[in-house]
Structure 1
Amino acid sequence: MSTDLVTEYLQQLVAFIGANPSLAGFICFFVAMGEALFLVGLFFPSTVVLVGAGTLIGLGNLEFWPIFIWTTAGAIAGDAISYWVGYLFKDQLRRNWPLNRYPQLVQRGEDFFAKHGGKSIFIGRFVPGVKSVVPGIAGMADMNFMRFTFFNVMSAFAWAAVHLVPGVLAGSALFALGEIDTRLAIILGALCLAVFLAVVMIRWVILIILPIFGGTHGLMVRWFSRRQDSVSQWIARTYDPDNPQSVGMLLSALLLLITLPVFFWFTQAIAPERTMARADLAIGTFLEAARNPTRDQIMIGLTMMGDSVVTVIVAVAVGLYLFSRKAWRRATGFVIALASSALFVVIIKSLVGRERPIDLYTGASAFSFPSSHTTVTTVLIGVLAVLLVHEKSGRFKAAVYSSVAVYAILMGFSRIYLGAHWLSDVLAGLLFGACIVAAFAFIFGHIHNEKVGRGALAGISLAALLSVSTFHIYYGFDNAVRMYQPRSAITIMDYSQWYSYGWRNIPAKRINIVGDFEEPLPLQWSGSPEEIEAYLSARGWKPAPKWDVQSATGYLKGETPAGELPPVPHTNAGRLPILTMIYQSDDDHRYVFWLWETKFRLKGTDNLTSPLYVGAILEEQAVRPFGEFSGLQSDDDQSAAINPFSGLEGATIKRRVNGNTVILAGPKP
């Protein structure tokens, strides 16, 4: 099973925990136990689920102590089972599958146990790659069970706290931010999640998967060694299992084979009217509304660290250092990697010809896809990371590559936030940058005779980056502020244009944050939100309950009326609703009305403009799983059974090509 698929399942499990809090304890128990089980834990990363559960605790959706106790109990049970497996079967485990295929894994566990003794049970709990074998080794070594249990219980408490508490703190911070700025909380939550998943995946692959895979590719190498052609013989020599770099090189080849096709998939996925293009627009609009001067200054400073003047000078400094050390092949490869990626970006920009969200540059740089900032930054720091971690320990590699991933993600985010690129531009840049880095690692990973002073290389790179960035930001910041100033894409039309044909330019359905079409938009409103609220209030509608700890607990009870459950915020083309109201027909049925501002403004006879809004009604039905919880289900594709808008002032009914109707209403100037 691929790591991406495992992560997807774990994310779904976190969502299931949030929707089923009564089962959260059992889930955390089995997840914690699974990671501690002998060998099974190598393929069972629980961090995503447990930190996600901690975040739900911080958000007020779960109780801390029950989850903490269940998680601790699961960790204790998993280690205890592993101990007894080792105690009962002892050396039989070595001779049978799967341990007979991974003798180095057992050896690592035995070395760790021999070095730390009983403390290895406590320490090993936190060490990837050995934590799921050390308890079994303890059993094989006939360690006293009571002594084992002491270390097992103590380490389980600490391990549960380490996994849950960061999530609790993050959830509490996001909840506090949500009370102040819902949009900012969503943005920070998504950014933290992206960084967290990237770091977890990197550490899992480097510290767990690579050591295991190290004993399995010998079959492939032996197959090549039996072939007589020169290419097969070169592969057999280069990727011999005795070469400690061979596993990393093969992983680089796999990464290359994955990232390059996905990058080219993006080139067709961004075509107009495709889901990705709509998602780009929605996310860009969502971030645009979150901008303020303080955040802008932070993001502008970050994005200027990826400007060409900075990357070129850093690259020159690194290249000169490598050539001065006579590391000819790696220096040449470094130059080729950067030059080819920069040239490739220019070629793709010219071929695709996608417009930026805002006008920034001229020539090929005026185009958007892919992001050159993200691509070149990823290649520069990624290749430097390959040079720095060559022949280093797994922990050092995980730390360096995690730092590189975080820096590249933040650089890409700054480009989206400032409106310089669409999300897909940045994702494509990250993919192609990773592709070039993987190619560099694959080609130069077997070189042993070129010694690079890693400390000096890191110092030169960091000094060049910080000094040039500081100088560049100091002298160019004011100009960058003017360049990246917010530019809302507002379209102005007069009332006659709106009534005659302009209404057709507004999508017939809501566009969610990932670009999919959802429920129909039967209302276009030219008045104020207060006027439509007063109109609906007179007809029995009420303001929707706001999200807080008290209202959220309504989902945990089986008898909560539908009208008392806070609705999930719906975005339309990246905009949060201006107004949300509810009409409850009975305890189990309700209608939810949302009103969103559009990018259109209507110009009156006095030349003053006012926003144009769109509204949607969605019918929701309460569901009672097991009679203990409350939930809501709806059909986004169906129009609501009621439509209270026909009595609005100046209501005019228009009919679309597909037969759906839309009401144009509101006071005229």
Structure 2
Amino acid sequence: MNHWFDTLTLWLESNPHWLGLTLLIMACVECLAIVGLLIPGTVVLFSLGVLAGSGALELWQTLLLGYVGGLLGDLASYGLGRRYHQGIRNLAPLRKHPGWLNGAERYFERYGVASLLVGRFIGPLRPMLPLVAGMLDMPFMRFLLVSMLAAAGWSVAYLLPGWATGAALRLPLPDGFWSEAGAVIGAVALMLVLVIHSSLRELRWATLLAAGLSGALLLALLLSASHLQALDQGLLALVQEQRAPAMDSLALLITGMGDFNTQLAAGVLLTLLLVVARRFQAALYVCSCMLLTALANGALKQLFARARPDVLLQPLDTFSLPSGHSSAAFACFLALGVLAGRGAPARTRLTWLLLASLPALAIALSRVYLGVHWPTDIIAGALLAGMVCALSLAWLQRRAPMQPLSARVWWLILPATLALLGAVSVWALPQAIQQYRY
């Protein structure tokens, strides 16, 4: 397998015009039932992303090809399950490895529609869940809508890191960029490894560890921000190179969901709906996460008084560190991710947090794209929100675990919150277009 992929990579470097088709096919294969279990999809897609970022494909092309390929793989797997139902068990690979199908089937029966969202980011489940959905006659339109949403997050999570790496290798970057990038990436990676390890082992102090590590890394980043100029300037230049009118409109729409007024309205609505549903502990958790994050963010901005990048025609006159949009978005979506994972195994809880982080990450990245924040600003915002969410959870669970929300409560709060975020963002778009001219 390694020799085959090395040969393919060398061939694509000499024939970059075939990279788009190859990326589409490999994204499809990675999500295809049975076949997706046999290839190292994460490594393959990262490598193809690096080649794309080296100049062969633009970012939007890379993400779109990955999205379409992944969606086609889902649809093909669903069609196989719908066509053959239980007869699919007679296929030679599944006769030899029945656990592949049985594990996905148990997961689907336990979590239903949510399994297609969460399982998308769990390697052994990703290619098998659409097959199981077809076997069990999940309505096609429901499957399609969920898969379209899941494939979008999957494409970003699996292809953006590789593309960014390839683009960074291609551009002339400031001296010290790679050492600073290595230090920040290494510190964040170490924090995530320790938090994930402690969570998977179900250690009682895992939540406090997450809060402590987030806080320590946030403090280190705040104190060393002035020494990370090469990283900030290099990444900002890389992102600004991808500016395009169509992408600008999308970025403005996304960034609108992180505006203070939008997040305030979302927080109030979420809290009130949870109170109406008599889930007072969950309401207190959401309120404390969002309110404390906002207060801490405002205080830190005034304390460090960092100037924003000089990209807009009329730069914003507020300070930039930490990013308010980033901290507010991560506080909101991480709180929802924590609530979604209550009562589930550790792996599922972590996957819900990953899934919840994707829309928050999109809002945070839109700030760098629009040129109103340095990359370290949004990292600091995410760390601040993570620290506050973990501390709030540890405090609320000091006597007893927080109880999971029922499906009825989720159908009450989630559509209303997402609709509010979208509606306010669209309503504010014309004003944002004038404000973020560059």
Q: Read off the aligned partner of 2:329 and give its amino acid letter.
A: T
Is residue 463 of structure 1 aligned with residue 418 of structure 2?
A: no
Q: What residue number does 1:422 align with? A: 374
**Structure 1 residues 391 and 476 mapped into 2: Cα distance closer, same or farther (>3 Å)?**
same
Q: What residue number does 1:296 align with? A: 248
**Structure 1 residues 426 and 300 mapped into 2: Cα distance closer, same or farther (>3 Å)?**
same
Alignment of 1:158-307 (within 5 A): 210-211=199-200, 213-214=201-202, 247=203, 249-271=204-226, 274=227, 276-307=228-259
Is residue 402 of structure 1 aligned with residue 347 of structure 2?
A: no
Of 267, 280, 283, the residue aligned with 1:331 is 283
Partner Cα distance (1:314, 1:48) in 2: 41
Partner Cα distance (2:278, 2:420) in 1: 25
Q: Read off the aligned partner of 1:257 and give its amino acid letter.
A: G
Q: CA deviation at 1:332?
A: 2.9
Q: CA deviation at 1:311?
A: 1.2
Partner Cα distance (2:255, 2:102) in 1: 40
Of 372, 377, 380, the residue aligned with 2:332 is 380
Q: What residue number does 1:442 align with? A: 394
Q: Is the 8 A contact 1:203 1:398 kept in 2?
A: no
SS of equivalent residue, structure 1 residue 435: helix
Partner Cα distance (1:332, 1:404) in 2: 19
Q: CA deviation at 1:379?
A: 1.0
Alignment of 1:6-25 (within 5 A): none
Deviations along 1:473-522, one digit per CA (max 9) or x if unpaired, are 33321211121122xxxxxxxxxxxxxxxxxxxxxxxxxxxxxxxxxxxx
> What TM-score, normalized to structure 1?
0.38
Q: Is the 8 A contact 2:334 2:386 kept in 1?
A: yes
Q: What residue number does 1:604 align with? A: none
Of 271, 274, 285, the residue aligned with 1:322 is 274
Partner Cα distance (2:95, 2:213) in 1: 42
SS of equivalent residue, structure 1 residue 357: coil
Q: Is the 8 A contact 2:195 2:206 kept in 1?
A: no
Of 461, 482, 494, the residue aligned with 2:434 is 482
Q: Read off the aligned partner of 2:209 and give its amino acid letter.
A: L
Q: Read off the aligned partner of 1:356 and give its amino acid letter.
A: R
Q: CA deviation at 1:299?
A: 0.8
Q: CA deviation at 1:394?
A: 4.3
Q: Is the 8 A contact 2:210 2:387 kept in 1?
A: yes
SS of equivalent residue, structure 2 residue 428: helix
Q: Is the 8 A contact 1:348 1:369 kept in 2?
A: yes
**Structure 1 residues 445 and 123 mapped into 2: Cα distance closer, same or farther (>3 Å)?**
farther
Higher helix residue share: 2
Q: Is the 8 A contact 1:378 1:430 kept in 2?
A: yes
**Structure 1 residues 268 and 453 mapped into 2: Cα distance closer, same or farther (>3 Å)?**
closer
Partner Cα distance (1:203, 1:278) in 2: 26
Partner Cα distance (1:205, 1:292) in 2: 38
Q: What residue number does 1:412 align with? A: 364
Q: Is the 8 A contact 1:299 1:414 kept in 2?
A: yes
Q: Is the 8 A contact 2:273 2:413 kept in 1?
A: no
Q: Read off the aligned partner of 2:267 and give its amino acid letter.
A: A
Is residue 313 of structure 1 aligned with residue 265 of structure 2?
A: yes
SS of equivalent residue, structure 1 residue 424: helix
Alignment of 1:584-603 (within 5 A): none
Deviations along 1:168-212, one digit per CA (max 9) or x if unpaired, are xx88xx99xx99xx88xxxxxxxxxxxxxx99x989976x8645x
**Structure 1 residues 326 and 262 mapped into 2: Cα distance closer, same or farther (>3 Å)?**
same
> What TM-score, normalized to structure 2?
0.56
Q: CA deviation at 1:396?
A: 4.0
Partner Cα distance (2:408, 2:275) in 1: 13
Flag structure 1 segments of 5+ consecutive residues without an equivalent: 1-12, 22-45, 62-115, 128-154, 160-165, 184-197, 215-246, 487-669
Q: CA deviation at 1:404?
A: 1.1
Is residue 52 of structure 1 aligned with residue 43 of structure 2?
A: yes
SS of equivalent residue, structure 1 residue 421: coil
Deviations along 1:65-97, one digit per CA (max 9) or x if unpaired, are xxxxxxxxxxxxxxxxxxxxxxxxxxxxxxxxx
Larger relative contact order (Cα-Cα within 8 Å, sequence gap ≥ 6) = 2
Partner Cα distance (1:339, 1:122) in 2: 44
Comparing 378-387 with 459-468, greater Cα deviation is found at: 459-468
**Structure 1 residues 469 and 327 mapped into 2: Cα distance closer, same or farther (>3 Å)?**
closer
Alignment of 1:408-557 (within 5 A): 408-445=360-397, 448=400, 453-486=405-438
SS of equivalent residue, structure 1 residue 391: coil
**Structure 1 residues 50 and 203 mapped into 2: Cα distance closer, same or farther (>3 Å)?**
farther
Q: Is the 8 A contact 1:371 1:425 kept in 2?
A: yes
Q: CA deviation at 1:391?
A: 0.9
Q: What residue number does 1:94 align with? A: none
Of 299, 303, 321, the residue aligned with 1:369 is 321
Q: Is the 8 A contact 1:345 1:372 kept in 2?
A: yes
Of 328, 344, 366, the residue aligned with 1:392 is 344
Equivalent pairs counted in the alignment come to 298
